[in-house]
Structures are given as C-alpha cells and as structure tokens.
Amino acid sequence: MSAENTDARVEARQSFYVKQQLIAAAKTTFQQLAGVIKNATVYPAAHPFLLASADQLLDRLKEFLLSRKEVAFYLVGGELFFETHSVPIDQSLSMLMEQFTARDVGGVIFKPGITCDEIVRFAYLMNKDAAYFAEQGGVVKVIAKEKMVHIDLHRVILVDKKFGAAIKEAKKKSSEIFMDAVDTVKEIVNSIHLDKAVNMKKVSAVVHGMVDDILDNRDALMGLTTIKMYDEYTFAHSVNVAVLSISQGTFLSFEKPQIAALGIAGMMHDIGKVNIPLEVINKPDKLTDEEWEQVKRHPIEGALILSDVPAMTRLAMVAAFEHHQHGDIRGYPRMDDRVQQHPFSQIIAIADAYDAIIAARVYYKVSTPPDKAIRIMLSKRGTVFNPVLLKAFVNMIGIYPVGTLLKLDSGEVGIVVHQTRDLMRPRVLLLTKFDGSEKESGTEVSLLEMEGGRYKRTIAGSIDPSTAKVDVKKYLE
Amino acid sequence: MQENPGQPEPLSPEIQEVMRSFVSAARAVKLYPQNNPIYAQSVKKSFESLDNYLKNAIRYSIGVQKSYFLYEDIPIAKDTQLNKAIAQDLFGKGFREIIFHEGLTEEELLGFYAALSLSQEEQALRSGMVSILWEQGSTHIKITEAALEDVITTHPDMSRTGAGEKERSAVRVLPEAGQKEIRIAGRTLVLGDLIDDPGRFAANMVDIARETLGDNESIEDRLHSLYQEAGQQIQGMPQEQQEALFQGLAKSVLAMDPEHRDKFIASKLYAGMDRDQVREQREQESSAEGPSGEPFSHARIPEDLHEIITGRFSKQWTVHQIAELLKKAASKKIETPGPAVDPARIEAVPVSEDLYGIAKELAEYSPEEMETLKAISGVGMEPDIIEASVRTLIFLITLVKRPGRPAVLEKTVSRFSSVAHQLEDSLNYLLQNKDYDLATIIVRALHLPVDPLFKPRLNEAIKKASSRDIISAVVTDMRSSQKASPEYLSAYAYLQVLDQEATPVLLDILAVEKDRAIRKYLVEILKDLGKKQVSMIARHLTDGRWYVVRNIVNILGDSKSEEAIPYLERVADHKQVQIRLEVIKGLISIGGKKAAVLLTRFLKDRDADVRIAAVRAVAIVHGAGRTEAQTLTNFLMDRPVKKKENELTVEVIKALEKIGDEETAEFLKRYTRIKWWKARKPQEELRTVAVAAIENIGRRLGDVGRKY
C-alpha cells in the first residue's frame, strides 16, 4: 500500500466533526493569505496594516504547525485542498486561486520556521505579473532565488497529474470489486435457498475490498452504482446499497470495522426477499393486498435468516429488520413508536431509497433527473429519513452524482466524475465522441475553474443517458 | 486480372436510377412539406423511374437492411452516405422489404411517400405502414415490416390431435397467393415447433434476432419485438388454440440459453409489466387517493415496485408466468428502435434556480447538526450493537410464525430456536458484562406469551438464564454493591424478573452456602422474592436437611401471608426443635387468628423451650383473643403448682394478662389464694404474676370501655 493511501486512511479515521473544524480553520487561513496578498498591492512593506495581516497569518500557520510538519494548500482544477481536504471557496478565494494558477502555482506549502518577512515578500512576489515568472524560468526558481526557504511552491501540472492518475487507476479495480460483490450476493442467495451455510469469510473479504477501495477513492465504486443491470439488478441493488452505505460511512469518518459492518448490513438488507414465495415475487400481474403483506414481511424474514448465520454481524440483522421501519406511516413492520431506528438502519434506508429512485429512471421509465431524485429524498427529511444523515448523504453523493450527464453553458456535454465542495460544481469529463474513448483521452475539468472572475463553465442542465443513447457504463467501468 | 467468381454482377443503370430516385424521394418527403416543390418533384421523379422500370419487369424489390438497401438480395450503393441515413431510418421504422409491382400508379406512390413521411409514432397510431397502404387501397406496393408476418401459422388440427405423433406435415408455411415469403436469414418459423420443439423455436428466434438486429438495439430488444409479433399472431387465432400456443411460446423462452433468457425475461417481459403498473398508478395519481387517504406520491411509485424488483432473486420462472407476460407483451404496440441521436443536441433538463439555494443550504452544517453527526460517529460499536440486536430479537420472538401461511413445523420451530439462541448468547454477554438492565429486558421477553409450540424453547432459555452460576454471580454482584444503589437495584431487578425461576436456585445456593453472612443475605433476598411464591417455597419443606427447612420456614414466616400457615403446620411437629421454634417465629410474623390457634398447639410440645416460646408468642401474636385465652386457661386448669412447672405457668399467666378478658381475670383469682397445705414459694410467685395480670386485664378492659 502506498504511503499516500496510508495517509488517506489515517485522515479517514479523523472524526467527521474534527475534519469539518479543520476545513473551516484552513479556509480562514487561506482567506488570511488572500488578505496579505491584497494588502501588498496597496501598502508598502513596512506598513502596519500589511504587517498586522501577515502576523495574523503567521500565528495561524504556527498553530497548524504545532501538530504537522507543514501546512499545504493545493489548487486542483479550480478546487482548493488543504492537505487532502477540499475547502469551500468563495469569490475572494477564487480570485486568489486564479492569480496563483495564472502564475503556474498549483500548491503552496508553509514550513516550520516561516517568518513574517517571508510572508510579506511572498505576497509581493505573487502580485508580480505572470510574465515575470515566465522570464525567470518559473515560480519554483523564483522562490529559490528569493531564498524563501520556508515556503515551497508546486507547479500546477504536477499536482493535477498526481490527482488524475489516482482516480483513473482506481476505476479499473473497482469494476472487478463490484462484480465480485454481485457474485457474492448470488452465492449467499443460493446458500440460503439450499439451506447451506453462508460463506461469511467470503462476504467479509468482499466487503473489506469494497471498504478499502472506497477509502482510497469513493467515486469509482459509487459511479458503478448508477449502472443498472436488468437481469442482475436484484443482486446489484444489494451491492449498490452496500457501496452507498460504505461511502456514507467513510464520509462520516466511521472506524473501519464500523464501515465494514455497515457494508455487510447494506449487502444483506433485502435478503429476506428470498423467502417471499416465488408465485408472489414472480407474479405476472399486480399484487393483491395479501400478497403485498407477504412482500412487506421481508424485513422480518431477513432478520430471521441473518440471526441464524454464524459470524454474521448483528447489525446486519438489525438493519434488515429496520430498514423500512421509519417514522412515516408507511414504515413496516410496525413496532413500538418509541423505538428509534439504529443509525445504521437509517443510513441503509437512505441508500435503499436513493437507489430505488435512480432505478426508476431506468426500469420504469419514470423520468427522474438527478436533482429531482434529491428533491424527493429531501421532501422526506425528518419523516422518513434522518435529516442530518440525509444532508450528509447528499453532500457525499452530490446533487449531480458521478455518472450524471450534464449539458454545460459552454454547449459542451460532460459526465460527472467527481464531487467538489460545491454541490453545483462537480468535476466532469468532457464528452465529444460519446463512445467511451474520452475516458482515456478526454479532458477532465472542474466546474469550479474560473477565468476573469467568472466560472468557466456552469451546469445548464442534466441529460437522460437513455434518451441521449449514451452508454454511461463505458465511462464508469 | 482474374475475375472474382463470387462477386455479384453489377446492377443495371436503370435499377440504380430507381434506387437513387427512391432514396431522394424518401429524403425529400422527410424534409419538406407536401406543398414544397422539391417534395412533388422528387416523388414525381421516383414514379417516372419506377414506371419506366416496371414496363419491362413485374416488380422492383427493395430490401431494407440496417444501413443499406438490397435489390433482390444484392446490396446497392452500400457506401453512399445518403442511402445509409435513409436505410437506417426505414429500418428503424420496422421496414424490411418494399416491393413495387407492375401497374403501380402515381397516386399509389404519392400515398406511399406521404405515409413514409409520417413519424414512427404516427405510423404506429395507424397500425403501421401495411395498414395505411391497405386503407389507401394501394395494391401494387407490398411492405414487409419487421415481424413474423407470413411465417407463423398454426397447427391446423392441433385441437384435434390425439395423444399420438403429431403430423409434421400439418405444420406448414402458408404464404398468401402472390405474396413473397419473408426472408429473415432465409428461415421460416412454424408454430408447430412451439408444441413439438420449443427449444428449436427459441434458437431460431435468437438467430433471427441476431441477423435482423438494428442499430441501438440489443438482442433482447429484438427478441422482444419478435415475440410480441408472434404473440399477436397467436392472438389472431381461434380462442381454443391460443392458450396452448402461448404456453409453447413461453416454453421456447424458457428454453433459450440463460444469457438471453434471463435478460429477455427480466429486462423485457417483467420490466414491461412494471412500467405498465407505474403508468397506471401515475394515471390514478392526479385524481385518486391512497387507501389511507394519503395522496399518491410520484416518489412512492418506484419504491413500491422496487420492493418487488429487488425481490426477484430467483430465476425459477414458470411456463404460466412467462405465458402471461407474453400475452401482455403481445397486446402492446411493437416498438422499433429509434434512429441514432446526437447527444450533444439533446435537450437537457434545465437547472432550476432554487437548486443553488438548496445546494448552499445542504453544504453547511449547523452546530446542532454537527453534534448529531458527532454522536452518530460513535455508533456501530459493541454496546449499541448488542442493544439494537436484543431489541430486534425480542421483536422477532412474536413474529417468527408467518400469519396465514401453512408453515413447516420443524422449520418454524428451528427458526424460533435460532432467535432464542441468539437471545441466550446476548444474555450471557450482558451478564458477563454486568449489564443487568438489558439482561432483565431479555428475561422479561422470554416470558412473553407465545405460540404453545415455542413455549418449551423459551422455558429452556429461562432455565438457562436462572442457572445456579448466573444467580450466584448476580448475588455476588448485589453483595458487592451498596443496597439501593443503581447497581444493586439493577441486579436485583434481574432476580425479580426471573420470578419463580430464581427462588429454587437461591434456595439451593442457600442450602449449601457455608458462609453464614452469605446465607443471611440470601435469606433476606428470598424473603423479599418469596412473598408471592409461598406454595413454591413450601415445596422445599420436605427437604431432608433440617437447616434448609429452617430457612424455608423462616422465609415463609416472613412472607406474612396466611397462605403459609398450612405449610407451617406441616412442620409444626418437626423433630428438630430449631424448626419448631422457627415455625413459632413465623406464626408471630404472619399473625392472625389461624396463626394464634396454631401457636396454642405448641402448648403440648415435648420441648419446654418450645412450649414457653409458643406461650410467649400467643401473648404477642396479632389476632389472639378469647378462644386462645380459653385454651390457655384450660391448659392451666390441670397444671399442678409445682416449682419445676411454674416457669410455664407464669408465662401462660403473663400471656393471659395480654389476651384475657373478665372471665380470664376471674379464673386467675385462683392463684391469689395461698393454700397452706401446698408449697408456699411457688404459690407466691404465681400470685404475684396473677395479681398483676388481673390488674392489667382490668385496666386494659377499662381503657377499652373508655375508648368505645
């Protein structure tokens, strides 16, 4: 495992709460840097205003440096990262980022020993024309020449390549993991049908693989959940729910064993359906009320099945039993109203419903654009779904999830490949041939990218891949 | 250069010209309105070239392939871009062959092109091109659409065929006179195969599907169209034959190779039905209300159906199920794949303005939300897993049996046993971790009313929950906690909820416990627990160990229940003095008339200490009165006044002092007179006690008089 991945997992172990606080602090720091650079345009080097703002930044950096070896900001495709965390940006920050990008600066790293003088000199330097840096042979050389030993700059291209390669490599592996998981669900179903022991070792191994993959790169596996396979959907849905739940678990910085339990629970949530009589489930007509009642018994059946599987995490049984047992009147099986769903069941209920809505577009031709799907989910905030978990889910999956086809105001068509901090500005792969070839050779852009103080591209609307006859699978597998 | 013998002869310029003008006209009618001169000119030119050709030939046949045309099976101008586009369009609309016959009129051709200009939907609305031409009275143009038209015919004598061998000769292809046999890969399909060899029929269908596959069309799409058409053909046949043929059609589907079969059934047949159900529900949506008065929600539809879709784990479809789905499919319009579209020109669903606001609101967490997330991040650990699983298992206890369905007894009991086993495991874990609150909840659940079938298993679980080791551990924990502390109360609640199961175990522990302090502690617990378990505790009075019996008597006495008196009476003559003394103590504790009466029985006990204890007890027991006083006076009546017996007599007099009345006082006067011929000292002792008693009785009775 690479050092980079190890770092990522260490980061993932930080609690969601701590992470959010860190991101807020990072944003303030970058805002302070923006303030110093702006002051340097109007005040001389010894001016108290400039020095005061540089001092403030210095204090903040020193605070950060108490617990880390360096304070690193990266600019990737219009997005600002503090170490590996995406930082929300506003207009003032985007102006500074644009200024950096124009000077070929893709990363700024402050090291221990940084002084106020260095900060001020750096601010003046950043206000010089882009042409100046070109003449001097690039920013890295200028910094070296200026002897700012406590500030390192990275060039844009290096950072972009580093991030891009990681995403592409992960995608290759993810499709195999996904199909392994589908096969495992099939195997489980067969075992249950034949009254044979469920191979829990295999289930755990597959889920662990999914967890590792998602911890490395959430987008790859999550993108695969948008692909619907008709004949395998009964199995793929279970995997989709597992993927979405694991992703939610990583997003919320759960511990690895928690995430794995969540994954297994997600994979098993509908297992009770194997006990629905075949004549009901394969009925070539509408179900009667009595038959519906049999379908609605699947949470009970699932819990009963899972309670009998040795080594199965108990949470799988709980989630199977509770995943429809929400506060809404339509929740089932109806139990004591005072009993609240376990948070894992709440996470799985969200993933289950979301996959159902997305599937509707494919299976029943119910046109539900991605943003509409989110609106439907949001309309059930606080009644069916835990509002806070739902909010986190939408932040994780995006309003336009990975795999969504977008029409941009530039006239271009793109497919979402990664979420950013701005739910309306994901990273997209621009499509020109629509045959999947862009996956290897196409251009990936961030809708956060700016030019002249304006966003280069903005979403104009979403496109239904089936209407456009674009095989999204080719871009996600 | 040697000529390639396999190369077809080049087509004549006339043939090519007809094709060129046909393609031009087909394009023109698509692009221009009828009143446009180009439209009219193109159609006219096409007629002229066709008319010219048909002067020397009986027909002009155009085969429509996916991206090119055929003239009598020979590709024509295959690489021409214009031809490709028009061929794709016509193929997409379902055309497979167009034949112009000699005698073709300009009016017929005009009507044909006008129909050609219709959109796919418009054509479908009018039941397809064949119907349109038929309505126009066109007799010199024959269209073959993507279908099994003309190739499927029925088994004419099927309804009459006996059990013997079916006549293959009866299964025939019967093209209409003058109608060309359809060429789909040079094959014909006969319905007889559906009965005799559905596998072969399926294989043929797959082959045809492969060979006639359109752009943007999967094998399953094509199979669907073909089976739809086959179904429609069957629906046109006599009613009595339809069912058997649909069953045959279903068998052929099930006989396909799994790759195509599964996809076809799932993605076409079931998906089609699901879509119809959604459509129907949506139609109701605007006007109807749900059964609960809740409006049908757009968002609800996929969720409901989804439960079915994601439940179709099994691929064990029946012939009946597939036949029904095929019937449904046959009653629907056949969809042909639409032409390729340019994704870049597709209209996007625009972003509504409020979405930016929603996105902004979603991106920020309030401090309360952060706190909630912080709390959630701690879940999924052992304690909450146990709690949640216990809760679920308890719910399951009452849900194991499926309502309204005959269940396999063994299986049902086994399922229940598994739930009970899980609860036992949880209970052991909780007890090990001294989590008595949750353990108590489990034990309470084990007492829930269940089907008699499951009761033995629950009893078994309860027995395990009240094993000697467990109860000992609970008592140890109680002893190590301060009385009335939460820990103590929590452990004690566990014993309480075990109810009758805990008591015998506690009694057993008590019987063998060597440490007196622990014994005392156990008795204290038992006294409390035993209040409502008199009969059960009393069963242990037969124990051979006298100290066990003494403890039982002690507990029974402390129950303060009159119910215990008959049990105490049984051991009132126990050979062990300690037990008899314990009975007396118990009777005092219980009190009441019955206890008092029983106490007087001890006046005849063989042991002096017991007799004295009994008399003292009568004096203080609540409920003793005239009757007991009478018994005591009777007892005194025959007693000699002797030194060695005086002790008991004194005690009786003292007792009478407490319970006696005027009559008693009168009786006691006999002790106030000293008889000279008897020993003086004992008489004086008795006189002193009797005088005091008489006085006190008088005082007591006087007080009562004042009071009442």
A351 and A277 part of one domain: yes
CA distance A221 to A263: 13
pLDDT > 90 fraction of chain A, expressed in percent and rounded? 38
CB contact under 8 A, B377 and A252: yes
* Residue of B303, B352, B299, B361 whose CA lies nearest to A390: B361
Give the chain B residue whose CA is nearest to the CA of A353. Answer: B303
Tell me, yes or no, whether A155 lies in a domain. Answer: no
Kindly report which listed range (A113-117, B470-474, B525-529, B677-681) carries the lowest average pLDDT score.
B677-681
Examine residue A154 and state whether it is found in any structural domain, yes or no. no
The mean per-residue pLDDT over the stretch B248-255 comes to 90
Same domain for A65 and A120, yes or no, is yes
Q: Are residues A350 and B261 in contact, defined by beta-carbon separation less than 8 angstroms?
A: no
Interchain contact B637–A (C-beta under 8 A): no
Answer yes or no: is pLDDT of B161 > 80. no
Residue A401: which of A419, A376, A377 has the closest Cα? A419
Is B359 in Cβ contact with A423 (below 8 Å)?
yes
- B480-527 per-position pLDDT tens digit: 999 889 999 999 999 999 878 888 898 888 888 888 889 889 988 888
**pLDDT, average across residues B162-173:** 29
By residue range, what is the domain housing residue A209?
161-397
Query: Using the beta-carbon criterion (under 8 Å), do A262 and B216 form an inter-chain contact?
Result: no
| Closest to A278 (Cα-Cα) out of B287, B561, B313 | B313
A25/A19 Cα distance (integer angstroms):
10
Q: How close A44 comes to chain B (CA, Å)?
A: 38
A461 vs B contacts (CB less than 8 Å): 347-351
B301 to chain A: which residues are within 8 Å by CB?
A: 360, 364, 366
Closest chain B C-alpha to A173 CA, distance in angstroms: 25
CB of B614 closer than 8 Å to CB of B600: yes
Backbone angles phi, psi at A418, to 5 degrees: -165, 145
Identify the pLDDT of residue B3: 41
- φ, ψ for residue B3 (rounded to 5)? -80, 140
CA distance B266 to A234: 10
Check residue A364 and give its pLDDT: 73
Residues in chain B within 8 Å Cβ distance of A397: none
| Average predicted confidence (pLDDT) for chain B | 81
Output phi, psi for A444, to 5 deg. -105, 130
Assess whether pLDDT exceeds 80 at residue A67. Answer: yes
Mean pLDDT of A319-345: 84
Contact yes or no for A123/A39 (Cβ under 8 A): yes
User: ipTM of this model?
Assistant: 0.80
Name residues whose C-beta falls within 8 Å of residue A327's C-beta, 6 or more positions apart in sequence.
A337, A383, A384
How many whole angstroms separate alpha carbon B648 and alpha carbon B668?
Answer: 15
A111 and A48 within one domain? yes
Is B260:B267 a contact under the CB 8 Å cutoff? no
B369 touches chain A (CB under 8 A): yes
Residue A369 placed within a domain: yes
Nearest CA-CA partner of A5 in A143, A135, A169: A169
- Per-residue confidence (pLDDT) for residue A4, from 0 to 100: 46
Describe chain A by its helix, strand, coil percentages, rounded to 5.
Answer: 60, 10, 30
**Alpha carbon separation from B498 to B192, B444, B472 (Å, rounded):** 73, 8, 14
pLDDT at B299: 54
Tell me if B349 and A464 make a contact (CB, 8 A cut-off): yes
Cβ–Cβ below 8 Å for A344 and B379: yes
Residues A193, A333, single domain; the answer is yes
In this structure, the answer to whether residues A172 and A240 fall within a common structural domain is yes
Nearest chain B CA: its distance from A387 CA (Å):
9
Same domain, A134 and A70: yes
Locate A307 and state its tokens: 């309670």
Give how far A220 is from chain B: nearest CA, Å.
22
* B61 phi/psi in degrees, rounded to 5: -105, 130
Same-domain pairing of A327 and A443: no
End residue of a domain, out of A149, A170, A186: A149
CA-based nearest residue in chain A for residue B392? A318
A421: pLDDT confidence band, cut at 50, 70 and 90? confident
Give the pLDDT score at B183: 34
Buried b (16+ CB within 10 A) or exposed e, B279-294: eebeeebeeeeeeeee
Q: Do B151 and B173 contact (CB within 8 A), yes or no? A: yes
For chain A, say whether B273 makes contact (Cβ under 8 Å).
yes
Please check whether residue B407 touches A, CB under 8 A: no
Q: Which residue bears the tokens 């047992």?
A: A325
Helices B382-397 and A314-322: crossing angle in degrees, nearest 10, is 50
What pLDDT, on a 0 to 100 scale, did the predictor assign at position B169?
Answer: 23
**Residues of B with Cβ-Cβ distance to A468 under 8 angstroms:** 341, 343, 346
Helix axes A343-363, B271-285, angle to 10 degrees: 100
Across the interface, of A333, A366, A411, the residue whose CB is closest to B278 is A366
What is the residue-wise DSSP string for B327-366? HHHHTSPPP-PPPP--GGGSPPEEPPTHHHHHHHHHH---
Look up residue A251 and give its two tokens: 């997003």
State whether A231 and B266 contact (CB < 8 Å). yes
A41 with A189, same domain: the answer is no
- Closest partner residue to A360 (CB to CB) among B216, B266, B302 is B302
In angstroms, the separation between the Cα of residue B18 and the nearest Cα of chain A is 34
Residue with tokens 């022991």: A197
Most confident segment among A140-144, A263-267, B378-382: A263-267
Residue B414 scores a pLDDT above 80: yes
Q: What are φ and ψ of residue A197, in 5° steps?
A: -70, 140
Q: What is the pLDDT of residue B454?
A: 93
Question: How confident is the model at residue B148, as a pLDDT?
Answer: 44
Q: Between chains, do A278 and B316 touch, taking CB under 8 Å as contact?
A: yes
CA distances B3 to B8, B9, B11, Å, are 11, 11, 16
Which of A366, A380, A434, A462 is best to mutate for the B interface (most B CBs within 10 A)?
Answer: A366
Determine the length of chain A: 477
Q: Token match 């849900």: residue? A: B399
Using DSSP's 3-state secondary structure scheme, residue A460 falls into strand
SS3 (DSSP) at A40: helix
Q: A330 and A204 in one domain? A: yes
In terms of domains, do A187 and A301 share one?
yes
Token pair for residue B618?
């009568």
What gap in Å lies between CA B57 and CA B51, rounded to an integer? 10
Distance between CA atoms of B421 and B454, rounded to whole angstroms?
A: 13
DSSP 8-state assignment for residue B7: S
B290 CB near a chain A CB, below 8 Å?
no
pLDDT band of A8, cuts 50, 70, 90: very low
pLDDT given at position B642 = 65
Contact A422 B275 (CB under 8 A): no
Please report the pLDDT score of residue B167 as a whole number: 29
* Residue of B285, B321, B392 to mutate for A, most A C-beta atoms under 10 A: B392
Q: Token pair 């943007």 is at which residue?
A: B216
Rounded Cα–Cα distance for residues B687 and B672 (Å): 5
Is the CB of B377 less than 8 angstroms away from the CB of A463?
A: no
Helical segments of B377-483, H only: 382-397, 409-432, 436-446, 455-465, 468-480
Does residue B416 sit at the A interface (CB-CB below 8 Å)? no
Give the whole-angstrom CA distance, residue B652 versus residue B690. Answer: 10
pLDDT at B339: 65
- The interaxial angle of helices B436-446 and B382-397, nearest 10 deg, is 10
Q: Is the pLDDT of residue B622 over 80?
A: yes
- Going by pLDDT thresholds of 50, 70 and 90, the confidence category of residue A61 is very high
Of A298, A380, A399, Cβ closest to residue B311: A298
B285 in contact with chain A, both atoms CB, cutoff 8 A: no
Residues of A in contact with B308 (CB under 8 A): 281, 287, 295
Q: How is chain B split into domains, by residue range?
A: 13-145, 187-285+314-339, 625-708
Give the distance from residue A259's alpha carbon to the nearest chain B alpha carbon, in angstroms: 9
Closest Cα of chain A to B122: distance in Å?
20
CB pairs under 8 A between A and B: 263
Angle at A191 (CA atoms; ends A349, A214), nearest 5 degrees: 45
B13 confidence band (pLDDT: 50, 70, 90): confident
Q: In which band, very low, low, confident or very high, does the pLDDT at B589 lie, cut at 50, 70 and 90?
A: very high
Q: Considering all CA atoms of chain A, what is the largest pairwise distance in Å, rounded to the nearest integer? A: 85
Give residue B485's region: left, alpha or beta (phi > 0; psi -120 to 50): beta
* Contact call for A230 and B391, based on CB within 8 A: no
Q: Are B33 and B23 in contact (CB under 8 A)?
A: no
User: Tokens in use for B269?
Assistant: 């047949």
Distance (Å, rounded) from C-alpha B462 to C-alpha B443? 7
CB atoms within 10 A of CB A144: 14
Q: Where are the alpha helices (DSSP H) in B32-172?
A: 37-54, 81-92, 106-116, 120-125, 129-136
B148-162, B236-250, B623-637, range with the lowest pLDDT: B148-162
In the prediction, which pLDDT does A205 show?
A: 86
What residues does A446 pair with on adjacent strands?
A427
- Please list every residue in chain B whose beta carbon sits closer than 8 Å to the beta carbon of residue A296: 307
Nearest by CB: B324 against A253, A285, A460: A285
Q: Cα separation of B261 and B397, whole Å?
A: 41
In chain A, what residues touch B274 (CB-CB under 8 Å)?
Answer: 363-364
Q: Is the pLDDT of residue B256 over 70?
A: yes
Taking each helix axis as running N to C, give the angle between helix B546-558 and helix B502-512, from 0 to 180 degrees, rounded to the nearest 10: 130
Q: pLDDT band for position B380 (50/70/90)?
A: confident
Q: What's the confidence (pLDDT) of residue A167?
A: 47
CATH code: domain of residue A245: 1.10.3210.10
Q: Residue A156 domain-assigned?
A: no
To test the contact with chain B by mutation, choose from A22, A285, A364 the residue with the greatest count of B C-beta atoms within 10 A, namely A364
Task: Dig out the tokens for A102 from the structure.
Answer: 């124009």
**Cβ contact, residue pair B310, A257, below 8 Å:** no
For residue A295, the SS3 value is helix
Domain count, chain A: 3
Residue B151 reports pLDDT greater than 70:
no
Per-residue tokens: B447 = 């007492």
- Which whole number is the average pLDDT over A75-93? 78
Does any CB of chain A come closer than 8 Å to the CB of residue B287? no
- Residue in chain B nearest A344 by alpha carbon: B380
Q: Are residues A392 and A411 in the same domain?
A: no
Q: What is the mean predicted confidence (pLDDT) over B593-620?
A: 91
**Percent of chain B whose pLDDT exceeds 70:** 84
Distance between CA atoms of B437 and B492, rounded to whole angstroms?
Answer: 10
Question: Which residues of chain B are within 8 Å of residue A382 when distances are taken between CB atoms?
Answer: none
Query: What is the rounded distance in angstroms from the CA atom of residue A435 to the CA atom of residue A416?
Result: 16
Helix axes B409-432, B382-397, angle to 10 degrees: 150
In chain B, what is the straight-line distance between the N-terminal and C-terminal CA atoms, in Å? 150
Q: What is the mean pLDDT of residues B8-27?
A: 83
Which residues of chain A are within 8 Å of residue B270 when distances are taken between CB atoms? 282, 284
B195 pLDDT above the threshold of 70: yes
